[in-house]
A and B are shown apart, each in its own frame.
Chain A
C-alpha cells in the first residue's frame, strides 16, 4: 500500500518535470520557427510598425508617468538617507545609477509585460479561439509569419526604447525633486552623475538588459497566446500566465545578468 502510494507520488513528480521540459522545448521550437519565418514581418514592415504602435506607442503614457514618479520618489528617499552622511550632492549618482542599471529595464519590463504582453496573448488567443488562425491556414497564409512574428518583433523593438525613456524620465523626475524642490546644487547633481555613470558599463548594459527582457516578455506572450486552449477560460488563463511568467522571468534574468555584468570588480 505504502509502496504504491510512494510510486504514485514519484510518478506525479516525473510527469510534472516531463511536461515542463516538453513545454520549454515546444516554446523553443516555436521561437526558432518564428524567427526563421519572420521574413514576412520584415519585408512587409508596416505589419511590424503597426505592432510597434500597439506595444510601444500605446505603452508610452504609463511608462513615462511611472518613470517620472519612480525618479521623484528615488530622489526624495535617497535625499533622506544621503543627507545623514552629508553626501546629498551624490543624489544624482544614486538616482541615475539605480535607474540606468536596474529600475529602468526591470520596472519598464514589468509594466511592458502587464500592459503589452497581456494584450498580445489575449489577441492571439482570441484569434485562435475564433478560428481566425485556422482560416488563415486554409488560405495558405502562415499565421506564425503573418500574425505572430510581427508582434514579436514589434515588442522586441519597443522594449529597449521604452526602458531608455523610462530611465531618462526618471532622471528628469529626480532632477525636479532633488534640484528644484529640495535644493541640491544643480552643478554637483549633474557633474557627479556624469563622473559616476559609465556609458559602456552602466548605460550599455542597461540597454542589453532591456533588450533581453523584451525578447523574453514578447516570446512568452506570443507563445502563451498561440498555445492557449481555444476557450474563454483558456484565453483568460493564458493571459494571467503571461503576466506571471514574464514577471518572474524578468526578475530571474535580471539577477543573472546583474551577476554577469556588475561583479567584474572593474568599475567604481
Chain B
C-alpha cells in the first residue's frame, strides 16, 4: 500500500477519534451546557447539610442555575458554610432563601433557592441569611414518635381516673 493511502486512512482515523471525543464531551458530558458561562459566588450557612456534596446542583423553580462549589465547617458557629457558583445570567434578590432539598424520595440532594422581595440583588461574596437545613430522617422520626407519645399520655391516664 502506498504512502498517501496510509496517510489518508490515518488522517481519517485521527479525525474520527477526535470526533468521538468531541461527541463524548458535548453530547454525553455537560461541557456545552455549563462550564463556559460567567458565575458569581454566594455563601450560606446551614445547621445541617445532610448528604449535600460538592458539585451538587443549585436550582430555582426546578431549573439548574448553578453548582455547589465548596463545603466547609465553621469552627465558630459549628455550622456548615456552603459556597455556590451561580450563573451570572440569573440575578436574585438579597433576601433569597436557600433550602437543602431532595429530588425524589431517594434522589440526590440539591440546593433550592426561593427568591425574596428585596430590590437589591445579590453580589459575588454575599451571604444568604435565610436558610433551611436538610431534613434528617432520624430527627423526623423521633419528632413524630415524641409527638405521638405526648398525645397518647393523657388518653392513657383516662381509664385510671
Interface residues of A (CB under 8 A from B): 46, 49-50, 52-53, 56-57, 60, 96, 100, 157-158, 160-162, 164-165, 167-169, 171, 190, 193-195, 197-199, 202-203, 207, 265-268
Cβ distance A50 to chain B, nearest Cβ, rounded Å: 6
Contact indicator A194/B30 (Cβ below 8 Å): yes
Cβ distance B56 to chain A, nearest Cβ, rounded Å: 7
Interface residues of B (CB under 8 A from A): 3, 6-7, 9-10, 12-14, 16-18, 20-21, 23-25, 27-31, 33, 35, 53-57, 64, 108
The 8 closest A-B pairs by CB, nearest first: A161-B17, A168-B20, A164-B20, A199-B29, A165-B20, A199-B31, A164-B21, A57-B13
Contact indicator A53/B16 (Cβ below 8 Å): no
In the complex, chain A residues whose CB is within 8 Å of the CB of B35: 199
B33 — nearest CB in chain A belongs to which residue?
A194
With the chains together, A57 CA to B16 CA distance in Å? Answer: 10
Contact indicator A161/B18 (Cβ below 8 Å): yes
Offer 26 A-B interface pairs, CB within 8 angstroms, sorted by A.
A46-B7, A52-B13, A57-B10, A57-B12, A157-B14, A161-B13, A161-B14, A161-B21, A164-B17, A164-B24, A168-B20, A168-B23, A193-B28, A194-B29, A194-B33, A198-B29, A198-B30, A202-B29, A203-B25, A203-B28, A265-B53, A266-B54, A266-B55, A267-B53, A267-B55, A268-B55
With A165-B16, A268-B56: A49-B30 Cβ-Cβ less than 8 Å: no
Q: How many A-B residue pairs have CB under 8 A?
A: 91
Interface of A is mostly: helix
Contact of A197 among B6, B17, B29, B55 (CB under 8 A): B29
Interface of B is mostly: helix
In the complex, chain A residues whose CB is within 8 Å of the CB of B14: 52, 157, 161
In the complex, chain B residues whose CB is within 8 Å of the CB of A198: 29-30, 55
B1 — nearest CB in chain A belongs to which residue?
A53
Cβ distance B35 to chain A, nearest Cβ, rounded Å: 7
With the chains together, A56 CA to B30 CA distance in Å? Answer: 28
In the complex, chain A residues whose CB is within 8 Å of the CB of B64: 195
A95 — nearest CB in chain B belongs to which residue?
B28
Contact of B10 among A53, A169, A195, A266 (CB under 8 A): A53
Contact indicator A197/B10 (Cβ below 8 Å): no
Contact indicator B7/A49 (Cβ below 8 Å): yes
With the chains together, A193 CA to B32 CA distance in Å? Answer: 13
In the complex, chain A residues whose CB is within 8 Å of the CB of B28: 96, 100, 171, 193-194, 197, 203
